[in-house]
A = this chain, B = another copy of it.
Amino acid sequence: MTIATRMQRIQPFHVMALLARARELEAAGRSVIHMEIGEPDFMTPQPVIDAGHAALTAGLTHYTPATGLPALRERIAQYYLERYDVTVAPQRIVVTPGASSALQLVLSALVNPGDQVLLTDPGYPCNRNFVYLLNAEPVGMPVGAETAWQPSVQQVREHWSANTAALLLASPSNPTGTLLDPASIRGYLDIIRSQGGMLIIDEIYHGLTYGAAVPTALSISDEICVINSFSKYFGMTGWRLGWLVAPPALVPELDKLAQNLFLAAPTLSQHAALHAFDRDSIEILEQRRECFRQRRDYLLPALRALGFAIPVQPEGAFYLYADCSRFTDDSFALSNRLLEEAGVAITPGIDFGSYRASHHVRFAYTTSLENLQEGVRRLREYL
């Protein structure tokens, strides 16, 4: 058996080993505060659960079209109008089994082996692995707090090469929770218009922002690909449902790929998701957003008071990316020590890239305020 060469470049996530160790400790009776998990602690809103029951009762268990239920594509389009005041044709929307599949579809349709895809370092770790899957080259642009963890237009221009097929960014970003500003998006588009390529923006944490209303990148241009998900804001992780909005010319290619790669997104999930946009669902989701905001507003100053440096206030997602260089030059070792000795699980920077990774850790506020307070108490005692 010969393993494909790409598998050497695709690394498992360190946090998975850390999570497994945390489960071991818990099984042995130890208490662990989980601030490593990238999944909302809330369950799916009851109106969506109810819609799932109704779909099951109606026996809706067969395949849907590869691009998704027409009614769901229309409902998502309507959501863009309601929430963002942006008109998106339903025909530009492709429903996928999670945002992961959306990322895979769009990269597979656009990226040849040997091509480059520009990403941020730090950034969502699966992104570079989707690029490796296609035997292409992820190019991490180092970003720091001084640019709110997003690349400057100048930086993108400098990294662009004849082989660059796409620029893939996230807003809000994982692990930093920071946003792209519209002026930068316009600047990236100027580069792409002259150089070719595609701007792909991951908006899966959209909806989970805690300041002024944030526009979707689709309000700036319809030449870009935008990826979104029912997992985070809508609290539907295990349903495996996402979507992407693409320029019209790309949709037939995505449809063709979807027919081959996954046939269709889960049918029950699609029927249930039709009700994720209902007024009673949105009310629940907005209460949860307020909970996340309260958690951020507690955790951010608490971590700063402990000595973690978080120079830019993260405006979204449920992460704080903290500089821990006051405590260590090895954030991976620190993460392990905090788990073993303080009973606090966090994610080491190395899972998100290499730039300043050993000086950073990610805290997720996907657990209750009480748990966060206990976690901070344990950190204070230990550090």
Contact = CB atoms under 8 A, between A and B. Distances in A.
B108 A133 contact: yes
Contact of A101 (B11, B133, B262, B267): B262
A249 B104 CA distance: 26
A265 B108 CA distance: 21
A100 interface: yes
A97 B240 contact: yes
Interface stretch (A52-60, A323-331, A353-361, A368-376): A52-60
Contacts of A129: 260
Contacts of A98: 262-263
Contacts of A259: 12-13, 16, 126
Given A2-B110, A62-B43, A259-B12, A264 B247 contact: no
Given A49-B56, A56-B52, A238 B256 contact: no
Contacts of A197: 1-2
Contact of A247 (B1, B44, B165, B263): B1
A260 B126 contact: yes
Contacts of A196: 1-2
Given A39-B62, A97-B262, A100-B263, A238 B268 contact: yes
A129 to B, nearest CB: 4
Interface in A12-61: 12-13, 16, 39, 43-44, 49, 52-53, 56-57, 59-61
B3 A100 contact: no
A108 B4 contact: yes
A81 interface: no
A210 to B, nearest CB: 23
A216 interface: no
A107 to B, nearest CB: 9
Contact of A63 (B39, B57, B268): B39
Interface of A: 1-7, 10-13, 16, 39, 43-44, 49, 52-53, 56-57, 59-64, 97-98, 100-101, 104, 108-113, 125-126, 129-130, 133-135, 165, 196-198, 223, 235-240, 247, 249-250, 252-253, 255-257, 259-269
